Structure 1
């Protein structure tokens, strides 16, 4: 027998997958609860029981995608270089994620909430992961001293800016060059 919690999780996954498909097919602004429900084969009230509106669905979708990338990119061990390699790999994945990029490029009002106004769940997850890695690097001696959460927040700002603006400088920095320069910036910031 399937537990209610697993079944609920399966429904949420279908809804979020449907939301991603809608964003890619129609864009963020034209994605509706009705179309998400149709694609997920659930009723609109089923979606509304979980999220109050479309913005919350999209925010949850982004959280799942961003935290999923963090899980996909393996921890490369303690130390500054390993931390920087992982951050650069996560950034590259997010620069290539069609859904994340669609929100950044096609829903600037929604994106700006998480860029300039409030710290989202996925950003807090990334800061916490960075703080843990920074703390390990400090203990190992390759990361300078300082508050790991403050330093993690600064690393997030540097990396988030790179993810958001990479398209703007792609004639100057191709994908490989942007990875090299991001790594250089992070290494310089974290160096002891």
Structure 2
């Protein structure tokens, strides 16, 4: 087994990368702690010391991938237009993320928890970041009055729906058109 201390990669990253590879190769339902451990070249107890079961590993993987988009797509300024551009860019990035889309498309029972039952950590992070941007845009007058967190939550619902259902309307809305229409929807919703 390769030494993790000398590899320069954290144990957690190796495990989460292995989980992503398992999801892409086998699907969410057939991703196991044993297979993740094998791919990460760590023992199962190493994983169990960090997460109680495979659902927690997958949840953290998704949180890292979804919330990590905020770092990959930085703020491009203050105001409604800049905020909407960032939301559209985040949505496009997530629609192109194979792991995220694999969970949405191939593991609807997992995805439904975060669609219909409760907010996940990544959704809360996105709402808070968006609420902050909305509040700044309200101060410059480019976003209508209202509770920034409520507006952000509604923007999240609109955007999540677009991400989840993009494949259904692919014949009518290609990627460019989908981004344009999402931007139009969000701009219309937030406009004073």
Structure-2-length-normalised TM-score? 0.94
Separation of aligned partners in 1, 2:139 and 2:19: 42
Instruction: Write out per-residue CA displacement over residues 90-133 of structure 1, whole angstroms, 9 at most, x where no aligned residue.
Output: 00000000000000011110000011001000000000000000
2:74 is paired with a residue of what secondary structure?
coil
Shift of 1:158: 0.3
**Structure 2 counterparts to residues 42-121 of structure 1, below 5 A:** 42-121=42-121
Provide structure 2 residue ranges, at least 5 long, that are not aligned to the other structure: 1-6
Count of aligned positions: 185
1:28 is paired with a residue of what secondary structure?
coil
Shift of 1:51: 1.1
1:4 aligned partner: none
Shift of 1:31: 0.8
More helix by share: 1
**Structure 2 counterparts to residues 1-192 of structure 1, below 5 A:** 10-192=10-192
Question: After TM superposition, what 4+ stretches of structure 1 lie above 3 angstroms from structure 2?
Answer: none
Shift of 1:84: 0.2
Q: CA RMSD in A?
A: 1.1
Provide structure 1 residue ranges, at least 5 long, that are not aligned to the other structure: 1-6
Moved more, 108-117 or 9-18: 9-18
Separation of aligned partners in 2, 1:31 and 1:111: 15
